[in-house]
Structure 1
């Protein structure tokens, strides 16, 4: 197994360049005077070089130029300079560097492992934040192999154009690296194959990640404890697997606390066959990422604690493997949840809401939060509605919904608010139990309406990340596999409450 979490490049902000490090300069779309881009020894290349390589300065464009007496210069396009274009440039730069490094290593040549980048004077906190996010996440890779690892970018030195901004930019870089590390940990957990990643593994990974983090405590409960407590949903879903379920509670209590006590609840299905309502084989391999919501909650709690945010947060992750066997739960079963409410099962592949119902009920009765947010790869309907780059937000409070959307926008994750339509309330009602697990109608909406029954009337939001939690292609800082989506939003959401008066 690779190290978990995967290492990130070291990134520092300094006032002066260092001799001997390859230099990166940034080009805007439409720049005419290109010679200064190439630094000392580059003036004789100028427009001829730009024409030869087709330099346009568009975001994500990366070129190299061998300048006289100054080694290789890297030129990365930032488009019109809009902050998101900096993230795209950072991701493209790290991938181009590592591709070239692999080629050089294969040829037996010495490979540099560090770059330095000259920031233009107008580069501020927002631009540098986006650049660092792109560099940190764009080169991510997860591969189990016995071959030697490919060369990686180990360090990036940012040379500030304005010395007066040094401390501001250093703070921005440090904070962004913390968010990136959380995202990478979520990706690592999602990408770990399910022959390794059973419920016990995921629970112990939460313990490992939280070890020695100030103010953070982790408790892990097994199937015997859950049976005694009445976690009917988790036990039903996990009953078909030989690898029993777990329930993880992460408690962060800062030395001083401001704002509300927030409960974050994440779906932790370590593999989802669909159970008796079995999934088609095509694409089932992606079900190793069906615990992406739980992983995001684990990583978010670790990141919040590492940043020392003065907001009390509790994370709850019900973990199970949804498998097929003689002990699997069935359509038509009636399950009693932790809070005593009952659910009529109609589709064993709608298992996420079963485990979340237990955890939400436990939070209401035992944690006493001021508000709750759950996050889950819950419904294929949401992927159809919003695609693979945007998460869906269902919320009982306008302020909470707005905070989530704004938190995501600040950290490079897109959300769209969805309606909790009263017209479909009756569909969730069962004739033989309190609630019907998978009623007809708009699937994502009825799933959210079902979950709301277990929130005790608290302010609550449900985040459906079935689309953006995984990717099959490279898109800016996203690479194929688990994306880590929602981790940064959850941390930023907590941060938004640190000056809030309750």
Structure 2
């Protein structure tokens, strides 16, 4: 069934960026009048009309239109009763559903360069534009996080990851970034990051990003986001099987989510003080690699007994959490990581694991996730396993016996000094092998939208 397209009020353009097919969206308000697109159209089914269905339908639409190769620009007529939440969902799906990442000498395949959302009520134009702009900002976070995760590790070493984020930060007024090298890490006692990165010829880094809004006062909350930045993970001495190791280029997806969220927080000029810490390292095998049985001294002095060098994520996160507690005086700590295979087995590939020290924080995160279409499931911090984290020869041990996702979270909790804290384990949803909803194969950008929305909700 085909139908002509009527009056246009609000325009959303989706265009190719010059690098790696990253979508770029520009929002403008069009003059009331006839659409300048002639001809027949398609009918897009959205089921019973839930926002999630709108998101999935929009992603499918842009893929199908690209395959049809009929035009590079389309109008989309929205029903008269379209709600704001559905508009946000549609823009997310349409912007991200056509994302592609491919390093190739071939010419890029056809893509949809613009979609114009068409509404019939002039009074709704400003509302639609604001909602679409919000969704676009979140989509940018996801797309940039995907870019970082998908970049191959022969390019993406710790220095590249940290400096790429710092370069992007310079483009946004008020967002500062510092890249701390191995000499700084040594001077400040980051024994965990240095141990994990010690097996690589490409040394580790700590990325520190800070957003201090002009309107900040002494009572402005300070949120610290910590993301795992392992740019490639062989497993170290406890080496991984060859099958699937190529996917470890995305093992820094937690760090990518934190970086992308910070860019969005600054872009939206949110009135919250936010700091991001991304410990960046390669976990390699060499004569200088750290070993099972080693004892590591973290920033602040706490020692860890190493039992498995493939559990390196918690080692670098521990340094960053301790640094945040000792130096930054945060009101809230949130860390994000592709941390445990146990969580991948427990929750599958589309849901993130959430550990939190209090109910209010857990609710804030799940609510933010619902608002931006990312699913989280709260996991318990079971106290009966807390003693297992203690070591006989150090303060704590890296891989205690018991349920792996839970004991990893309990290990990290020992570095938070009792502050409000949440741990997000995204080992499952950080990567995908198939298209579903707005997700495409490769790094998914999962958690970037939740983090940005979590901070935005603190402003309300």
- TM score, norm. by length of structure 1: 0.86
Correspondence for 1:100:
68
SS state at 1:116 partner: strand
Displacement of 1:112: 2.1
Correspondence for 1:91:
59
Which runs of no fewer than 5 residues in structure 2 stay unpaired? 1-16
Correspondence for 1:3:
19
Whole-angstrom CA distance in 1 between matches of 2:261 and 2:34: 35
2:426 to 465, 479, 483: 465
Displacement of 1:154: 1.3
Correspondence for 1:74:
42
Task: Spell out the pairing of 1:1-400 with structure 2 (5 A cutoff).
Answer: 3=19, 6-10=22-26, 12=28, 14=30, 16=32, 19-21=35-37, 71-101=39-69, 111-257=70-216, 259-400=220-361
Whole-angstrom CA distance in 2 between matches of 1:401 and 1:280: 35
Q: Map Cα deviations across residues 215-264 of structure 1 (whole Å, 9 max, x no partner).
A: 10000000111011110000000000010000010000001137521000
> Does the 8 Å contact 2:199/2:289 carry over to 1?
yes
Whole-angstrom CA distance in 2 between matches of 1:491 and 1:182: 8
Displacement of 1:98: 0.7
Displacement of 1:4: 6.6
Displacement of 1:391: 0.3
- Cα RMSD of the aligned pairs, angstroms, is 1.5
Cα pair distance change 1:118/1:14, threshold 3 Å: farther
Does the alignment pair 1:419 with 2:387? Answer: no
Whole-angstrom CA distance in 2 between matches of 1:449 and 1:470: 25
Correspondence for 2:6:
none
Whole-angstrom CA distance in 2 between matches of 1:18 and 1:360: 56
Out of 250-259 and 371-380, give the one that drifted further.
Answer: 250-259
Whole-angstrom CA distance in 2 between matches of 1:89 and 1:14: 24
Whole-angstrom CA distance in 2 between matches of 1:269 and 1:223: 15
Whole-angstrom CA distance in 2 between matches of 1:200 and 1:2: 23
Displacement of 1:7: 2.9
Whole-angstrom CA distance in 1 between matches of 2:31 and 2:77: 10
Whole-angstrom CA distance in 1 between matches of 2:338 and 2:172: 28
> Does the 8 Å contact 1:13/1:169 carry over to 2?
no
> Does the 8 Å contact 1:17/1:116 carry over to 2?
no
SS state at 1:71 partner: coil
Displacement of 1:212: 2.2
Whole-angstrom CA distance in 2 between matches of 1:212 and 1:270: 24
2:452 to 482, 487, 491: 491
Q: Map Cα deviations across residues 171-197 of structure 1 (whole Å, 9 max, x no partner).
A: 011111111001100000000000110
Cα pair distance change 1:316/1:361, threshold 3 Å: same
> Does the 8 Å contact 1:10/1:155 carry over to 2?
no
> Does the 8 Å contact 2:20/2:100 carry over to 1?
no
Whole-angstrom CA distance in 2 between matches of 1:15 and 1:431: 72
SS state at 1:180 partner: helix
Displacement of 1:10: 4.0
> Does the 8 Å contact 1:240/1:328 carry over to 2?
yes
SS state at 2:95 partner: helix
> Does the 8 Å contact 1:267/1:291 carry over to 2?
yes
Whole-angstrom CA distance in 2 between matches of 1:71 and 1:94: 18
Cα pair distance change 1:423/1:313, threshold 3 Å: same
Whole-angstrom CA distance in 1 between matches of 2:318 and 2:24: 36
Whole-angstrom CA distance in 1 between matches of 2:33 and 2:443: 36
> Does the 8 Å contact 2:205/2:281 carry over to 1?
yes
Whole-angstrom CA distance in 2 between matches of 1:276 and 1:2: 40
Whole-angstrom CA distance in 2 between matches of 1:219 and 1:492: 24
SS state at 1:461 partner: strand
Displacement of 1:161: 2.5
Cα pair distance change 1:139/1:13, threshold 3 Å: farther
Displacement of 1:15: 6.4
Whole-angstrom CA distance in 1 between matches of 2:39 and 2:435: 30
Displacement of 1:19: 4.2
Which runs of no fewer than 5 residues in structure 1 stay unpaired? 22-69, 102-110
The number of aligned residues is 442
* Structure 1 segments of 4+ aligned residues over 3 angstroms from their partners: 9-20
